[in-house]
Amino acid sequence: MKYIVYLCIGNRYNEWRNNMGNSNTALTEAVYYILLALQEPLHGYGIMQQTSSLSNGRLSISAGTLYGALSNLLEKGWITPYGESEGQDGRRKQYQITDAGKEVLKAELERLEELVENGRKYIK
């Protein structure tokens, strides 16, 4: 039902999000930093702190944004839940990057390096 209505009225965000998955568009800043942070297993709050410290406090992601981003990344298989959620953390889940996620990170790094290189070369 929902999708029939989408066809008529159209939620542009969903269209945009679906297109993002299929083509090799650039990662958003938030996604890039989340993937960087998840090279070691972290739970939600840890990711927020890590992204903030990696970017020297420039980028702060709200928990709401993070939740949506994590769910996107899990659907794409770029990250995976880590271990069983037990112990002191109670129900808090931890996440970790997958091999597919690492590939994406490497590809993105190459793309960024190309941008930087060309920028250095051609910006006068």
Partner 1 sequence: MKTSKILIRWFVDFDKEEAWLNEQSAKGWGFWHTNGVIYRFKACQPGEFIYQIDFDEKKSAVGEDYVVFRNSCGDSFVHQWKSKIYWKRKSADGPFETEGNTVAKLQLTSKAFNFHLRSFIGLTVIVAIAYLILNPLGRYLPESVFSHWLTDFSAGLSFGILCFQMIVLLPVLTRLRKKMNSLIKQLY
Please report, as ranges, the residues that interact with partner 1 according to CB under 8 A.
1-2, 5, 9-14, 16, 28, 30, 43-45, 48, 58-68, 70-72, 74-75, 81, 91-93
Question: 92 vs 106, which CB is nearer to partner 1?
Answer: 92
Question: 86 vs 120, which CB is nearer to partner 1?
Answer: 86
Closest to 95 in 3D by CA, of 30, 34, 43, 50: 43
Sheet architecture: strand order including 94-97: 42-43, 94-97, 79-82
Question: 13 vs 122, which CB is nearer to partner 1?
Answer: 13
Question: 4 vs 120, which CB is nearer to partner 1?
Answer: 4
Beta bridge partners of residue 97, listed in sequence order? 79
Strand boundaries in the chain, DSSP class E: 42-43, 79-82, 94-97
**What's the min distance (Å) between Cβ of 32 and partner 1?**
12
**What's the min distance (Å) between Cβ of 124 and partner 1?**
25
Angle ∠(44,47,49) on CA atoms, nearest 5: 110
Cα 73 to the center of its chain, rounded Å: 6
**What's the min distance (Å) between Cβ of 58 and partner 1?**
7
**What's the min distance (Å) between Cβ of 15 and partner 1?**
9
